[in-house]
Structure 1
């Protein structure tokens, strides 16, 4: 492996100018802004590259991870937990991947909170590339962080290293969905080694996406039944969930929200269900999305969050 590809190499001189063009900064170990939680790790990176606000790395945080091929249920849980943590002022940490990671980042941003994405590549890249716009939004209020130099592409061996930083930045780790050999279980092992509390979302024993979480529970992880479980462990005040009746919505938006509470639906399915043209659904759908009342799954179906 070339020296510049090796995490932990000192690449300050080489990368400083390139990172400056990206609006990023370097945090050497021992510097004032190097995150205290990572500084205590036995394998702490000698240098971190951060795009966004380095101060976010020192705030109280919870990591949320899980399957890239998440179920609708898993995505809903990730959004709910991340949104409620962010609304309470807790930073949400994840890895920018498809599925649970992206749902957690999106929900934290929608709640007006801060989120941190840890990358397994240099800051000049976004992986997956489809999340470039999401990464930009994360950097505006939170941070993108990596231990890899500019120009380093993602490689399979880098993701377990990335995972130890996801757990290391957090006070607690929530695993939402995980198969038997999921990378999320690697993150959970790192968390246990680092003294970070691990939560797992229970699931049916007959569903492959829940095998990893159920095994974590068998082995002593905390069961996550509500976001309050995590906030209680952090001794952190909860934020009351918004009451449905207090949402100031138009009549069309409220009709759509009521329909989505019954079952998720695409725009076309909603139009057929409500007897209206699909084009007429666009304004109330946007109204609901901006209010944080609905979100769109990867399959294009709208789901009620409130």
Structure 2
């Protein structure tokens, strides 16, 4: 993204207010700088209110500069509504945000993700269940999404990392703020091995109203949502409701009738959520939609999905078409795991392009990744 577009997008984020009119501005122009150049008349025509117009005319310099400083750090990214890298699932989700600040690899936001959510004051059994389900999802090739809160969220993120899998944390603060503070170490670990995601400017502290709204991003990024434990009134139920409204799968674990943190799950089950007792019930239900996500990614990469089954090998997936970058990656891989750095050397591809291609091949069932190393599926 050009500096002028980045600055313009930051101004559009900083002006706050309803998101839909700001998305409309980006849809009707070629880039954020062009949207900003429309001026007050064009902004009002797109539906922006007077408070938004006033803030766009005079953005707060300190907030913009703080965001630019954060974005200058390695591994920090800003993905706007106009960007082709904006996650396809989130684009179709409930009230998608104008932009995302990402610490970590933004390609992970295209990875098939299962949200694991529940109470901050989880029981020991609830935390154990969250860890067990998260480990199983990670080993099955799914990313584990959650909100980096105490309790169920923390247990799910840690288990996914411990299993060598991917995890995505959606924050109700700026991307640089660890909340709760006790999760500072986990916040840093996810930025290194997964992705931290926020719609809020760097420096934005914890605000009560931000946490329910962040749940729509988690629901939008995920193929399905698993509620481990939840009271009858909880943020986890908000995530589940938003997921259902977006046409995503919702799963709930049953519990004791004497456990108040099971009542939210029981309510979800009565309302139509799938009752699950084992991890494989979730992964089996999500296999088909994960395949559709692979198709969306292939469209993003601009290369067709290879669907010809005539040359399929009985002992493993067939090679991609000759002459494609995907074939070059396939040739560089073997049955022994290979690190990303080595694949960059072997293929001559950029790390970003290679990462997206490896993700697509993994979703298609051609390759497997373990602890950041890639190999063909035998």
Q: What is the TM-score with the length of structure 1 in the denominator?
A: 0.73
Q: Does 1:74 find its partner at 2:126?
A: yes
State the match for 1:172 in structure 2: 224
State the match for 1:36 in structure 2: 88
Q: Greater relative contact order: 1 or 2 (C-alpha under 8 angstroms, separation 6 or more)?
A: 1
Q: Does 1:126 find its partner at 2:178?
A: yes
Q: Secondary structure at the match of 1:184?
A: helix
Q: CA deviation at 1:6?
A: 3.1
Q: CA deviation at 1:13?
A: 5.6
For the structure 1 residues 22 and 227, does the alpha-carbon distance in structure 2 shift closer, same or farther, using more than 3 Å as the test? same
Q: Does 1:24 find its partner at 2:34?
A: no
Q: Does 1:112 find its partner at 2:122?
A: no
8 A contact 2:168–2:190 mirrored in 1: yes
Q: Deviations over 1:113-154 (max 9, x none)?
A: 000000011112111111111011111121000000112112
Alignment of 1:262-281 (within 5 A): none
1:4 to 14, 19, 30: 14
Larger radius of gyration: 2
1:98 to 134, 145, 150: 150
CA distance in 2, matches of 1:30, 1:231: 32
1:84 to 129, 136, 144: 136
CA distance in 2, matches of 1:148, 1:6: 10
CA distance in 2, matches of 1:26, 1:177: 33
Q: Secondary structure at the match of 1:234?
A: helix
Q: Does 1:188 find its partner at 2:240?
A: yes
8 A contact 2:116–2:225 mirrored in 1: yes
2:188 to 136, 140, 144: 136
Q: What is the TM-score with the length of structure 2 in the denominator?
A: 0.59
Long gaps (5+) in structure 2: 1-12, 23-31, 33-58, 289-378
Q: CA deviation at 1:5?
A: 7.5
Q: Deviations over 1:225-257 (max 9, x none)?
A: 100011110127xxxxxxxxxxxxxxxxxxxxx
Q: Secondary structure at the match of 2:100?
A: strand
CA distance in 1, matches of 2:248, 2:152: 20
1:53 to 105, 123, 131: 105
Long gaps (5+) in structure 1: 237-306
1:149 to 201, 216, 220: 201
Q: CA deviation at 1:181?
A: 0.7
For the structure 1 residues 5 and 100, does the alpha-carbon distance in structure 2 shift closer, same or farther, using more than 3 Å as the test? farther
Q: Secondary structure at the match of 1:127?
A: coil
How many residues are aligned here?
Answer: 234
State the match for 1:222 in structure 2: 274
For the structure 1 residues 25 and 69, does the alpha-carbon distance in structure 2 shift closer, same or farther, using more than 3 Å as the test? same
